Structure 1
Amino acid sequence: MLSHAHEVFLEVAQRLSFTKASQALFISQSAVSKQVKALEEYYKTGLFERLGSSIQLTDAGLKLYQKLLQARQLQQELVQEMSELSTEFVPRQHLLIGASTTISLYVLPPVVAAYLRRHPGQQLSLKNRNSDNILRALLDHEIELGIIEGIHKVSNVTYTPLLTDEVVAVCAAGNPLEKRRLDVHDLLTTPLALREAGSGTLAVLEEALARKGIKLAALPVRVRLGGTEALKNFVRVDNCLAFLPRQAVLKELASGEFSEVLIRDFPLRREFNFIQRKGTENNAPYKDFLQFTRRYYSGKE
């Protein structure tokens, strides 16, 4: 197994921040610095170059980072192979998974609960970020399996379909917009609240607008908010129109708290996809979770 010092180094190298590494590891920044210094003394070379308030890997640090990623992968493969050779060797597996906001909040909770009931010896960590950042976390080896909205056309990533979702325009009950049926060009004069750049929800809206010859920058956007729940809370107290995943507003639409605003000839659909680095698709625990999730939402679990 990798030493604690090497695990700390990996976290700093991935984030290029002692502060963010300490927050992720739930240890003090001084403890992070101490572990990195111990490695620098052991290898007799600097691993990070300090540039004012930022840091970057030295050539030696980059070499160590690359080798440790390989070692971590070998470690995971060894655990799996040993478990297959001996029925008595049952390691406690820790799945590192990431998902975009909509999926983390509204799609995964029931399936994760069902999966862990089926596999009580496993642990699971779930990172909740927007789709762009989940893809980045996968490429940086922070996670081994991701679920995002859409396909980002990255050559060294494998995409596996999970679900089709719909983005809908909504407003709070009592908003004058709830009684209207809009044309897409009405959006040019309708105050809007949207998700932040990098959000899959925003991306599907931008693509649909482009097909109508409308640029996102032309819309009267009142506010951009990071996160689905933040956007829902804003809609509750403002007269703007928001675009949100149907999965995220099912309860509010059913209770009458929100109203769906129909826009003629403007479908907003997107795919939820699993993402994996090419070459890791047969990593057994992650393959099992992927297949379990697909069966769960096909009604076979």
Structure 2
Amino acid sequence: MLSQAHEVFLEVARQLSFTKAGQTLFLSQSAVSKRVRALEEHYKTGLFERLGNSVQLTPAGGLLYQKLLLARQLQHELHLEFAALSPAFSPPLDMVIGASTTISLYVIPPVLSAYLGQFPNTRLTLKNRNSENILRALLEHEIDLGIIEGIHRVSNVTYTPLLTDEVVAVCSGRNPLLRQPLLAADLLRTPVALRETGSGTLAVLEEALAAKGIRLADLPVKVRLGGTEALKNFVRVDTCLAFLPRQAVTKELAAGELIEVPILDLSLVRHFEFVQRKGTENNQPYKTFVQFARRYYS
């Protein structure tokens, strides 16, 4: 078992912040610093270089971090093998996952329920932000696994497919003006409500419109709203058009609260993908979770 001091060191090294590590571990900053100092005294060398409000790993700290990641993975594999031999053996395990809004609300909850049913001692935290902010949290080491949609790729991140979804144009069921099919060019004269900048849904729409020579700035945007539910609730009582994930409006379409408005020459398909920093793809337990989720949706 890794010592508590080593677990604290791993969290500080992951986030490169004593404050953020303390918040994640529910420890005061002084308690975090005390445990790191104890390790530095044990190894007779500095593990972090403190630069004002930020910290960086020293060469010794980088070496320890890499070795402890390997040790944690071996520990997780050992726990899985012992649990197979002895069902009574089930040590607690912490996981933090980030997911974009649509995924958090409509895609990942049944996966989490099934996963926790199979691994009941997992203490899992799900962070819900838009795709851009989930990617930022991953690159800033706030999380080690994210699930995002329709966003531009970056070179130091690996992308693993989860499933494909469709974005549809909808209007209120009480709106008689938008029940006929449209063309992309018609959107230049149609009031629309859109998601906020950084949304994966918005990124998919922007890319599809660009292929038709239309910019988002050219649309008569009535309002921008943060979050799928806020946008859905707005368009239910307004007369504008909105673009929402099909999974988010299945019930409303079936009940007639929202009406799908076909846009004949616009295809809005997006892909939900796991994102991990390159080199961390085999880190447990996240590797196990990715495999589980992909099997769930296969």
Residues 14 and 141 in structure 2, CA contact (< 8 A), matched pair in contact too: no
Residues 171 and 177 in structure 1, CA contact (< 8 A), matched pair in contact too: no
Aligned equivalent of 1:165: 165
Aligned equivalent of 2:295: 295
**Partners of 2:229 and 2:218 in 1: CA distance:** 25
Q: Deviations for 1:252-276, whole angstroms, at most 9, x for unmatched residues? A: 1111111111112111001111112
Using a 3 Å threshold, how does the CA distance of structure 1 residues 6 and 280 change in structure 2: closer, same or farther?
A: closer
Q: Deviations for 1:169-199, whole angstroms, at most 9, x for unmatched residues? A: 1111111333222121111121111111111
Residues 22 and 32 in structure 2, CA contact (< 8 A), matched pair in contact too: no
Using a 3 Å threshold, how does the CA distance of structure 1 residues 106 and 64 change in structure 2: closer, same or farther?
A: farther
Q: Which amino acid aligns with 2:56?
A: L
Aligned equivalent of 1:53: none
Displacement of 1:82: 3.8
Greater Cα offset, 40-49 or 229-238: 40-49
**Structure 1, gaps ≥5 residues long:** 50-55
**Structure 2, gaps ≥5 residues long:** 41-45
Q: Which amino acid aligns with 2:280?
A: T
**Partners of 2:186 and 2:80 in 1: CA distance:** 60
Using a 3 Å threshold, how does the CA distance of structure 1 residues 147 and 215 change in structure 2: closer, same or farther?
A: same
User: Any idea what SS the aligned residue of 1:77 has?
Assistant: helix
Aligned equivalent of 2:50: 47
Displacement of 1:140: 2.2
TM-score normalised by L of structure 2: 0.81
Aligned equivalent of 1:113: 113
Using a 3 Å threshold, how does the CA distance of structure 1 residues 259 and 21 change in structure 2: closer, same or farther?
A: farther
**Partners of 2:81 and 2:179 in 1: CA distance:** 65
Q: Deviations for 1:113-144, whole angstroms, at most 9, x for unmatched residues? A: 11111221222211111111111222222222
Please, what is the CA RMSD of the aligned residues? Answer: 3.1
Displacement of 1:109: 0.7
Q: Which amino acid aligns with 1:263?
A: I
- Which residue, out of 49, 57, 65, partners 1:63? 57
User: Any idea what SS the aligned residue of 1:165 has?
Assistant: strand
User: Any idea what SS the aligned residue of 2:236 has?
Assistant: helix
Aligned equivalent of 1:52: none
User: Any idea what SS the aligned residue of 2:178 has?
Assistant: helix
Q: Which amino acid aligns with 1:115?
A: Y
1:272-291 to 2 correspondences below 5 Å: 272-291=272-291
Displacement of 1:72: 5.9
Displacement of 1:278: 2.2
Using a 3 Å threshold, how does the CA distance of structure 1 residues 277 and 233 change in structure 2: closer, same or farther?
A: same
Using a 3 Å threshold, how does the CA distance of structure 1 residues 9 and 258 change in structure 2: closer, same or farther?
A: same
Q: Which amino acid aligns with 1:112?
A: L
Using a 3 Å threshold, how does the CA distance of structure 1 residues 97 and 41 change in structure 2: closer, same or farther?
A: closer
Percent identity, aligned pairs only?
59
| 1:208 correspondence with 2:211 | no
Aligned equivalent of 1:79: 75
- How many residues are matched? 282
Aligned equivalent of 1:93: 93
TM-score normalised by L of structure 1: 0.80
Q: Which amino acid aligns with 2:262?
A: L
Q: Which amino acid aligns with 2:69?
A: Q
**Partners of 1:269 and 1:103 in 2: CA distance:** 15
| 1:198 correspondence with 2:201 | no
Greater Cα offset, 76-85 or 190-199: 76-85
**Partners of 1:72 and 1:140 in 2: CA distance:** 19
User: Any idea what SS the aligned residue of 1:243 has?
Assistant: strand
Displacement of 1:13: 4.4
Residues 189 and 219 in structure 2, CA contact (< 8 A), matched pair in contact too: yes
Residues 170 and 243 in structure 1, CA contact (< 8 A), matched pair in contact too: yes
Aligned equivalent of 1:232: 232
Aligned equivalent of 2:43: none
Displacement of 1:77: 2.0
